[in-house]
Each structure stands twice: as C-alpha cells, then as structure tokens.
Amino acid sequence: MAKRVTTIPATLNRFDSRPLQSVRKRRVAGYARVSTDSEEQATSYEAQVDYYTRYIKSNPDWEFVGIYTDDGITATNTSHRDGFKQMVEDALAGKIDLIITKSISRFARNTVDSLVTVRELKEKGIEIYFEKENIWTLDAKGELLITIMSSLAQEESRSISENTTWGKGKSFADGKASVSFSRFLGYDRGPNGEFIINEEQAVTVRYIYKRFLEGLSTYQIAKELTKMGVKTAAGKDKWYTSSVLSILKNEKYKGDALLQKSFTKDFLTHKRVDNKGEVPQYYVEGHHEGVVTADQFEQVQAELYRRQNMDRYSGVGCFSSIIKCGECGSWYGAKVWHSNDKYRRVIYRCNKKYGNGCKCKTPHITEDEIKEMFIKAVNELFSEKAEIIENTKTMMDMVCNTDDLDKKLGDKVAELNIIAEQMQTAIAENSRTALDQNEYERRYADLTERYNTIKAEYDKISEQIENKKAQRELFKGFIQALEKQGALVEEFDEGLWSSLMQEVVVNAKDDIRFIFKNGFEIKTR
C-alpha cells in the first residue's frame, strides 16, 4: 500500500498561540536612547521619538503602545535604564507584541544583555526589530545576526572607553586636573577649566581646618557646621564625618593635585575603584591657588596621623586626648559639675578613675587651671625662644631625615620588580611549554614567598618614612607657632595650644608636666 501524507495546517501562531486568522492588531512600542545629555544628542533623541511615533502609527496593522526612552546615559549595561526596564516589564506583562529600535548599539552594547533580553522576550512571543541591521528576532537567523552585531557593538564600546581613558591619561600626564566643581567645595570652574577660589565657600573650608587643629574631631566639626546652617558641597543641610574628612585629606586645598586616584576597572559596568597602583598616578605641585596654606595642610595630615595611632580620640575640644594620667596612662576626660546652677564648671579627670576596680590617685584639674598652667609653661618656653627654635631645627634634621630609608625603599622596589618579572616569565613559559607542573608550582611558590617577604619589608620601611614625615610636620608647626608669637602670652589661645602641645601628664597636684611637640618638657606647680 502506497504511503500517503496529509498536511494539517497550523491554526495558531507558534510564538503567542493566537489563532492565525486573528485580526487583532499587533501592539507596537518604540525604544529611543541617546548616550549623553549634550545639545546635539538631545536633538537626536527628540528626532528618534518623533520618527518612531509616526512610523508605528502609519502602519494600519499596528497599534501604537508608546515610546520608551532613556537619555543622557550609556548603554553598556541595563542596570540604570529605567525606560528600558519598564518596556521589558510591560512586554512580559502582555502589553507589547513588537518593539522597534534604531539599532543594536541603541539597544545595548553588551552582548550578554542583548541576548538575554532578546531570548527572554522571544520565549513570550515578543519580537524586536532592529531597523539599521534589518533584523527581526523571531526570524530563524535573527539570533545569529544579533550575536555577531552585539559583539561588534560591544567592541565599539570598548574602543570608545579605551580612547576616552587614553585621553584622560594624556591629560593627567600633562598635569591637567578635572573635578566635579558642583560637588567640590571652595572652587569654581574658570572659563578654561581652571580652579578659581570661591571665597564664600573657602570660609567654610578654612573653618574646618582651623577647628580640626584646635582639637575638634571630624564628628564635632560636622555637628557644628550642621547647627550653623552651612550647606555642604552638594547643597545639603546635614554634614557627615566623611565629608569633613575628605576636605581635610584633599591635597587640592593646598594648591596641589593628585591625578587618577581612581579609575574605571570595567568598561561594561563602569565601576570605578581606588587606584592602588594598577595604573599610573600624577602629582602636580602648584597646580592652582590653595584655599589653605601648604603648612596648614601638612599640619592637619600630621594630626590625622597622630590621632589614627591613638587608642581613642574623643575630639570634643582642644583638651581631648591631650591630658594623660601619669599613674595608669589613660586619657583625662571632661566632666561637668553643677551643670544646672551658677556654680557650673568643667573639670578633667582620669577616665578610669572609678572604673574596672581601679581607682587612680591622680587628681582632677579644672579647665581654668589647665589654661593658667599652659600660659605659665609657654612663657617659660618663650624665655629661651631663640635657643629652643634652633635646637628644634637641629633635632628635626637629625630625627626626621629619611635619606637612608628612601634608599632602602628604592632597593626594595627594584627587588620587587625583578621578582614580579620572574613570575611573569614563569607564567608565560608554562603557557607555551609543557613543563613539569610540580616543578613549576614549586618554583612559583618560592617566587611568591620571596615577593611577600620583600613586600612586608617594603611596607615596614614605608611606615617608618611616614612616621618621620609626620614628626617633621609636628616640628615645623611648633617652630612656626614660636616664631609668630612676638610677646609673652597673657590669654589662653586654642591655636597656640594645638600647635605647641604634645601632651600633658598629670602625676600629682604639684607635679603636672607639659610636654611640647619638640619633646621639651616643663613641670608646673
């Protein structure tokens, strides 16, 4: 018997299960995007929206759903594209049958994002038409073409990113700094991109530096600025510790500029990371006029380093973490007596005087007594002012000299570079030649161990250098304070206290020692 084949025609659309004879119009949406918020791109954006609106409405078989848009952003990933995400969400909810867009590069420059989205929509019978490439995603050859074209678009994005990075690197190498002036307190952008001091904002910056050197913590300074109603760089009312600290640490406030502190690690995610040596940095001295003096800035860095290496710093005033118990070594803290009546006064006593079963015999001292004793100690110091300044300079040159350490550090850098090169050579050799893997791993482990040992030595030397630099700044601040003070001190001065004092050690009522930043000690009482 002869074989007979009867064809049963399809009655349903294989993508959305609608009857083939259905007369329902196809629901169509457009997607438009531009990559920047420039005037030129804004015109392109408006043109895309207008074009696709008219294009969809002109087709009698289509029902216009709307135009989804994203402007002023890049397309390397879809994580921040609200219009794109809403369009996909609506399509999956059954509101859209067809999406029309200009090109794959308008849709996404990330191959993975493109394919994932296309496949997700395809499973629900939703088609995408890429006009420039003439690709319909429900077409059998559509996915292959999308894979190829998306890869090309991704490579284009990589090329753009690399060109941009090269341009920035060239600018950095030429000593040209750029910042977001709208979020950078104290400076405005000049006509040629130069730094121009905003005198109104500069007052706030100088206030922060002054109060920090007077002993306040970054937390206390932030509280003060918030209470005073001073606006942050971003125009906010509330100040945070991090904002104050970033101002204190930023070398641009003394007129210098460290370029490429961070870099874009991945062109797809646009994620920026701190530069810890992965790419070159450039330090430009005298880049612009400073809001604070170089000496002020360096004194702040030395004080930051000092507080960082303390067990605890309260920073509620200029006396915090300065007065020390001679018996147990703990700091003296402020206590208020008679806070609600006319006999109110502030006293300082050992923070561990009544804690942990310990009762130090060291006495409390009042704020007025500290001020009085400081004036007495400073005037005694000034009686030998010229000799003390000269001795301090000699001591600074001896104690803070880093020449030997700098040489040792350079030697360690050279050793690290040699070992790193040997490691790279070993990796390359192993990739080209069939080496004994046990021998290769032993060799690589030995190199790694040598590298880590030398890196630890490098870190130790670096720390020693930083210690000496911090000490030098303390000495310099001490000398400058002495040189500026022309006559004997009659009234307590917070700035003078912060510039001169290292610590006050309380041993007994008649044995209180003032130790200055040059190591000079004066016993009072």
Is there a contact between 513 and 522 (Cβ–Cβ < 8 Å)? yes
Looking at per-residue confidence, does 406 or 159 come out higher?
406
| Statement to judge: residues 190 and 242 lie in one domain | yes
State the average pLDDT over residues 299-304: 81
Residue-wise pLDDT tens digits, 48-60: 788 889 889 988 8
Q: Predicted confidence band at 289 (pLDDT cuts at 50, 70, 90)? A: confident
pLDDT of residue 147: 55
Q: Is residue 77 part of a domain?
A: yes
Pairwise CA distance, residues 302 & 298, whole Å:
6
Report the CATH number at residue 205. Answer: 3.90.1750.20
Q: How far apart are CA 304 and CA 302, in angstroms?
A: 5
8 within a domain of the structure (yes/no): no
* Same domain (yes/no): 199, 137: no
Residue 366 domain-assigned? Answer: no
Q: Provide mean pLDDT across the span 248-266.
A: 71
Of 438 and 309, the one with more pLDDT:
438
What pLDDT sits at residue 496? 81
- pLDDT for residue 263 is more than 80: no
User: What size, in residues, is the chain?
Assistant: 525
Q: Mean pLDDT over residues 95-106, rounded?
A: 84
Is the distance from CB of 108 to CB of 122 less than 8 angstroms?
no
Nearest Cα residue to 133 out of 103, 105, 109: 103
Count how many domains the chain has: 3
Quick one: pLDDT at residue 160? 45
Which of 187-191, 311-315, 326-330, 450-454 is least confident?
Answer: 311-315
The confidence score (pLDDT) of residue 180 equals: 58
Q: Confidence class of residue 434 from pLDDT cuts 50, 70 and 90?
A: low
Summarize the confidence of residues 181-205 as an average pLDDT.
Answer: 84
Residues near 36 by Cβ (< 8 Å), separated by ≥ 6?
72
Tokens of 331: 């700091």
Give the per-residue pLDDT at 329: 85
Give the DSSP letter string of 13-42.
-TTT--BTT--PPEEEEEEEE-SS--HHHH
Asked if residue 386 belongs to a domain, the reply is: yes
DSSP state of 400: S
Is the pLDDT assigned to residue 464 strictly greater than 80? yes
pLDDT grade for 476, boundaries at 50, 70 and 90: confident
Same domain, 152 and 284: no
pTM attached to this predicted model:
0.49
Q: Which token pair is 49?
A: 């929206």
Residue 240 and residue 273 share a domain: yes
pLDDT at 322: 84
Residues 490 and 457 in one domain: yes
C-alpha dihedral (37, 42, 44, 46), degrees to nearest 10: 130
Q: Is 342 within the bounds of a domain?
A: no
pLDDT band per the 50, 70, 90 thresholds, residue 20:
very low
Say what the pLDDT of residue 8 is.
Answer: 47
Asked which of 285, 308, 331 is the last residue of a domain, the reply is: 308
Give me the DSSP letters along 89-118. Answer: HHHHTTS-SEEEES-HHHH-S-HHHHHHHH
pLDDT bucket at 319, cuts 50 / 70 / 90: confident
Please provide the DSSP assignment of 289-315 as one string.
--SS-HHHHHHHHHHHHHHHTSS----
> For residues 231 and 317, which has the higher predicted lDDT (pLDDT)?
231
Mean pLDDT of 157-164: 47
* 438 — pLDDT class (breaks 50, 70, 90): confident
Look at residue 91 and tell me whether its pLDDT is greater than 90. yes
Paired with 41 in beta bridges are none
CATH number at residue 112: 3.40.50.1390
Query: Is 228 found in the same domain as 105?
Result: no
- pLDDT bracket for residue 96 (50, 70, 90): very high
Question: Taking Cα atoms as reference points, which of 101, 113, 99 lies closest to residue 151?
Answer: 113
Domain of 465 in residue numbering reads as: 371-524
Residues in contact with 171: Cβ distance below 8 Å, sequence separation at least 6, in sequence order: 178
Average pLDDT, the chain: 76
Helix, strand, coil shares of the chain as percentages rounded to 5? 50, 15, 35
**CA 467 from chain center: how many Å?**
24
Same-domain status, 45 and 118: yes
Residue of 57, 61, 60, 51 whose CA lies nearest to 31: 51
In a domain, 227, yes or no: yes
Confidence band of 12 (pLDDT split at 50, 70, 90): very low
What's 252's DSSP letter? G
Helix (H) or strand (E) holding 428: helix 403-432
pLDDT over 80 (residue 277): no
Q: Are residues 153 and 30 in the same domain?
A: yes
In one-letter notation, the amino acid at residue 374 is F
* Closest residue by Cα to residue 472 from 306, 314, 353, 331: 306
245 occurs within a structural domain: yes
User: What was the pLDDT predicted at 312?
Assistant: 57
Give the best-scoring range by mean pLDDT among 86-90, 103-107, 489-493: 86-90
> Same domain, yes or no, for 217 and 125?
no
What phi and psi, each to the nearest 5 degrees, are found at residue 484? -70, -30
**Mean pLDDT, rounded, for 375-404:** 88
My answer on whether 512 and 394 are in the same domain is yes
Residues 218 and 294 in one domain: yes
What are the structure tokens assigned to 280, written together?
């070159």
Identify residue 240 by its one-letter amino acid code. Answer: Y
Strands 135-136 and 187-189: unpaired
Whether residue 21 lies inside any domain: the answer is: no
Residue 153 and residue 39 in one domain: yes
Structure-model confidence comparison of residues 390 and 154, the more confident one = 390
Give the pLDDT confidence score for residue 100 in this predicted structure. 92
**Residue 464 identity:** Q
- Residue 196 CA to residue 211 CA, distance in Å, equals 24
The better pLDDT of the pair 147, 266 is held by 147
